[in-house]
A = this chain, B = another copy of it.
Amino acid sequence: MTSGTIAGTRWLTAEEQVRWRAYLNASVRLMNALGRQLEQDSDLSLSEYEVLVQLSESPGRMMRMSQLAAEVVNSRSRLTHTVRRMEERGLVERQSCADDGRGVNCVLTPAGFARLEEAAPGHVAAVREHLVDRLDDEQFRTLGELMDKVGEALRDS
C-alpha cells in the first residue's frame, strides 16, 4: 500500500518500507537456511533443536511443559505435539510432576542428549556462516541489542 490510499493511517515512508522489507526478507531466508541445514544433517526441526537445547541446559535436564513452551516460544498445544513426536523417537520422556498434579516434566534422554551433541556443530556453523560471521563483532552486538528491545515489547504475547 502506498501513502494516501486511506486517511488516518501513519503509512511507512519509502525508506521505512525498504528497511522493513530488508528485515522481513533476510529473517525469512535465515530461518529457512538454518531449518534446512538441521533437517538435512540431523533430521531435526529448529523447534525440536531448541527443545533439546533448553532441556540440556536445565537442572536435571528436565523442564515443565509450560516453561519449556515459553522458552522456545511455542503454544502449549504445539509443544505437546512436538514433544509427543520426540518421545516416539526416544529423544525425550515425560513424567508427571511430583509437586503439581497437573504438571508434566519433559526429560531429555541420553539418546536425546547424544543427538544434540551430533547436531550442534553443524547448526552452530550455520548460524556463524549465515549470521554471526556476516557482521563484525560490534554490528552483531548492535543487532542483538536492537532485537532485544523489540523482543522486550513483545514479552507476553
Residues of A that sit less than 8 Å from B by CB: 1, 5-6, 8-12, 15-16, 18-20, 22-23, 25-33, 53, 56, 73, 116-117, 120-121, 124-125, 127-128, 130-132, 134-135, 139-151, 153-154, 157
Contacts and interface: CB of A to CB of B under 8 A. Distances in A.
What is the total number of copies of this protein in its complex?
2
Chain A interface helix/strand/loop/mixed? helix
A83 B30 CA distance: 24
A16 B132 contact: yes
Given A9-B120, A120-B6, A150-B130, A19 B125 contact: no
A56 to B, nearest CB: 7
Nearest to A71: B25
